Structure 1
Amino acid sequence: MTVYNLARRRILKCVSGLSRFGTKSLPGLEVHNLSLFKRKNATLTPTQKGPWSVLFFGSDEFALDSLRALHNQYRLQKLLCRLEVVTAYKGKENCLTKYAKENGITVHQWPVNVNNLDFHIGVVVSFGHLIPSHIINSFPLGIINVHASLLPRWRGSAPIIYALMNGDTETGISLMKIKPKRFDVGEVIAQEKTTVGPEETQPELYTKLARMGSKLLIKTVEKLPDVLCCGIPQSEESVTYGTVIYNKESDSLLVKCKENTWISIKKIRIPGKPQMPALDFRNGFMGGQKLKSCNFY
C-alpha cells in the first residue's frame, strides 16, 4: 500500500481512530491491513524527501551501471542512507556480486526473505524474475524498474535486441512501477528517448542505454516520493507480441517474426534458468497441453 500527501494524512487519522476503538474492523479496512500499515511506515514520515534506504534487484552488466550510480549517492549520504543488493546466480558469481563484495555492499540471494528487511523502496534493473506481491508490498514506496525501451513497446526480456532486429530508429529508457504477476505493465513515471544510428551495434546501444538508465534513475530518486504520484498507465494499443506455437511433429517451438515469417527453436534458455528443450518450455510456460499457442511480450 502506497499513500501520499492528503490521502496519507487521512489514513493516519483513520489509524488514530482505530487505536481508540480497538481492533474491530471498519467498512473497507481489515485488521491485518492496519498492522501492515504500521510496520511499513515505522521509518517513513508523510513529508519525507530522503535520504532513502534502497534494496536493488539486478543480474547483469546492464544493471551494474545503475548500481554504481546508486552506490555513488550512498557514499555521499544525502540521497541514500542504505543500499543492499538482491541477485540470483548458480555457481559462478555475476558482476553485481563482485562489485558488491568489492565495495562492502550486503548481498541477498534470490529468492529473498523480506520479513526482517526494512527498506523504503526497491529498484529493479534487468533482473529477470517476477517479484511477488508480498515483496512489493513490503516497501512503503513500492518498487520501480529501469527498462531499456519506450514502453509499452518491447515489454519483457531483450528489448535492445528487438529494437535492432525490427529496425527501430528510436528507443530509450522507461522507469515504471513494478506490478505483480506480469512483466513491465506498471505506470510509467519517467521516460527518455534516444536515436538508434543506422550502423549502431548491439554492444554500443547496450552501453548507451545502461548509462542513460542510471542517470534517469538518479533523477527519479531525487524526486521521490512525489514522482510516484505522476505515473502514466501504458497504452495497450502499442504493445508488441510474439506468437509461439509448439509443433509436436518436429518437437520444436515455432515463433512468429516480422512480416509473418517463422523460426523453429529446438532449445531455449530463460534468464536465470538452465537451457531446456521445446517440450519443457511448452509444459512450463505455455500451460502444457491446454494451449496450442501462446502470446509473449
Structure 2
Amino acid sequence: MWENVKYVRPKGFGQIVFIGINLFAPKTCCFGLWRIRRTFSKYSSSTHNTDHFVQKELRTEPPWKVLFFGTDEFAVESLKILYASRQESTNRIVESLEVVTLEKDLPVRRFASVNKLVVHDWPHVNSQGRFDVGVVVSFGCLLREGLIRQFPYGILNVHPSLLPRWRGPAPVFHTVLHGDAVTGVTIMQIRPKRFDVGPILSQEVCQVPEHCTAEQLGASLATMGASLLIDTLKNLPERIANRKEQSKEGATLAPKINTAMSWLVWEEQTCDHISCLFRAIDSRVPLRTLWMGHLIKLLDFVGKFSVPESEDKRAVPGSVLFQKESNTLLVRCKDGWVGFKTVMLRKRLSAADFYNGYLHTFFIKRPGLQHPHCLFQSKRTQTK
C-alpha cells in the first residue's frame, strides 16, 4: 500500500511530511494529506504555496495586482487604461501591472517599453501568488489550465462581440462582413482548451455605424472594451458572483481572415455583399479578380453605380466599363454595377490608366473579340 509514498523530514519541521500519496491507497491513509496542510499552515507566511495561504490573503476589493496578456493596437487601449489607473493617487483600480506578449516588435511591447512596465516573453510566465487577476486582450494563444488557476479571480478577456456571437480570432471582421446592425463588447472569464466559451461578467451593446470599415469599428470597440474592463474590475467579486454561462444557442464562429476570402465571384455576389467584403477585409487583403489570366487587385471601392439601360442589357457578370466623368472602373456583379477608382496590375493604376493602357487598346485591335476577352473573371469560373 505504501510503495508509492515518499516521506521527508524537512529542516525546521518537527514531524514527518508525506508527499506523493498513492491515489489508490485506502481512505485511512488520507491523514497524510491532512498532516501536510496542518504543518505547512504554520509556515504559510514564508512558503506561499498552499490553499490556506491563498484563501487568507485573497483581496476582496481593488486595487488589484494585474498581469496583462496582449499583442496588437486593440489590446493597447485596455493596457493604456489599466496603466492610467495604476498612476492614480486615489480610487486606484490597479496596484501593480506587468505584461505578457510575444517575442516580436508588437504595439503592446512598445507601449510597455516606453512606460517601463515589466514584460514577460510568452510562454515563459510564472505568476504563482503574485497577481490577483489576469487580463487577456487580443492575445491569440490558449492559456493552460495550470496558469489560469494561479489567479484567485481567474483571467478576464475583453472580446469585441456580443458572445456567443462571433467566437474566434476575427469577430470585428465578421461583424462587418455579415452586415450586422448591432454589436458590442463582452468581458468574460476564460477557460482552458477553447476560445471564447467562458462565463460572461459584463456586456455592452452598440450600433454598427453605417458603411464603417472593420478598422473603424475595431477602434471604437477597443475604447468601449477598455472602459467596460475598468468598470468590471471596480466590482470584480460581485461580477464574478453574478456571472452567466453563455447560451448554447446563437453561437457563431469568426475564423481568421485569409486570401481565399478576397476572390470575387461576380456571378454570385451582390453589390451589398461586395461592399461588406471590401469594408471588412481590404485593410488586410485587397479584393481580387482575374483579367486575361492575370491577377488584378481592386482598390478604392466607391460603391454601387447605375449605367444606361442599353449597356446593362447586354452585360454579363464580370463585364467592365469605364465611366470617364467620375474616372471610375465599373464591373457588373449579380444584381448591378460596382465601382473602383484604382487597380493593381503589376503596378498601381488609376481607372483611366487601366482603361487607356489595356482595355481601350484591346477594344480597337480586336473589335470582334472584345466581349468575351475583356471580362473580369471569377477564379472558380476560369478553373471550370
What TM-score does the superposition give when structure 2 sets the normalisation length?
A: 0.53
The 2-side partners of 1:108 and 1:86 are apart by: 5
**Could you tell me which amino acid in structure 2 is paired with residue 162 of structure 1?**
H
Q: Give the match for residue 73 of structure 2.
A: 61
1:175 pairs with 2:187: yes
Is the contact between residue 57 and residue 127 of structure 1 (CA under 8 Å) also seen in structure 2?
Answer: yes
- Pick the aligned partner of 2:57 from 37, 43, 47: 43
Cα distance in 2 for partners of 1:44, 1:242 equals 37
Q: Distance in 2 between matches of 1:195 and 1:116?
A: 41
Aligned match of 2:131: 119
Matches within 5 A, 1:251-262: none
2:88 aligned to which of 76, 81, 87:
76
- Quote the residue 1:191 is aligned against: 203
Helix, strand or coil at the partner of 2:134: strand
* Structure 2 match to 1:236: 248
Identity %: 39
Cα deviation, 1:131-159, whole Å, max 9, x if unaligned, reads 00010000011111000000000001110
Matched, 1:105 2:117: yes
Deviation at 1:30, TM superposition (A): 11
Deviation track 1:30-73 (CA, whole Å, cap 9, x = no partner) reads: 978x954235346324xx21211000000100000000000000
Q: Against the structure 1 CA distance between its residues 44 and 241, is the aligned structure 2 distance closer, same or farther, given a 3 Å change threshold?
A: closer
| Secondary structure class of the residue paired with 1:123 | strand
Distance 1:99 1:117, change over 3 A: farther
Q: CA RMSD in A?
A: 3.1
2:167 equivalent to 1:163? no
Of 70-79 and 186-195, more deviation after overlay is shown by 70-79
Whether the aligned pair in 2 keeps the contact of 1:40 and 1:139 (CA below 8 Å) is: no
- Give the match for residue 17 of structure 1: none
Residues 181, 168 of structure 1: CA spacing in aligned structure 2 closer, same or farther, 3 A cutoff? same
3-state SS of 2:150 partner: coil
Equivalent AA in structure 1 for residue 205 of structure 2: K
Residue identity opposite 1:147 in structure 2: H
* 1:85 is aligned to 2:99: yes
**Cα distance, 1:83 vs. partner?**
0.2
Paired residue type of 1:173: V
Matched letter for residue 37 of structure 1: D
Higher Rg: 2
CA offset digits 1:165-189 (Å, max 9, x no partner): 1110000000001100000000001
In 1: Cα distance, 2:56 partner to 2:120 partner: 23
**Mapped contact 1:40–1:138 kept (Cα < 8 A):** no
Which residue of structure 1 aligns with residue 165 of structure 2? 153
Task: Identify the residue that residue 257 of structure 1 maps to in structure 2.
Answer: none
* Secondary structure at the counterpart of residue 112 of structure 1: coil
Q: When the two structures are superposed, what TM-score results if normalisation uses the length of structure 1? A: 0.68
Query: What is the CA distance between 1:197 and its match in structure 2?
Result: 2.0
State how far apart, in whole Å, the 1-side matches of 2:72 and 2:127 are: 26
* Matched AA of 1:168: D
Contact 2:171 2:254 in 1 (8 A): no
Q: Is the 8 A contact 2:186 2:200 kept in 1?
A: yes
Count matched residues. Answer: 223
* Structure 1 residue 242 displacement after superposition: 7.5
Which residue of structure 1 lines up, in the alignment, with residue 341 of structure 2? none
Distance 1:42 1:84, change over 3 A: farther
Residue deviations 1:86-142 (CA, integer Å, cap 9, x gap): 00134xx11111111111100000003325561000000000000000100000111
Q: Measured at CA, do residues 36 and 168 of structure 1 come closer, stay the same or move farther in structure 2, by a change above 3 Å?
A: farther
Contact kept, 8 Å, 2:167 with 2:196, in 1: the verdict is yes
The answer to whether the 8 A contact 1:175-1:188 is kept is yes
Q: Distance in 2 between matches of 1:217 and 1:196?
A: 20
- Structure 1 pair 224/25, CA: closer, same or farther in 2 (3 Å)? farther
- Contact in 1 for aligned 2:99/2:119 (Cα 8 Å): yes
Unaligned runs of 5+ in 1: 1-21, 244-252, 255-260, 262-297
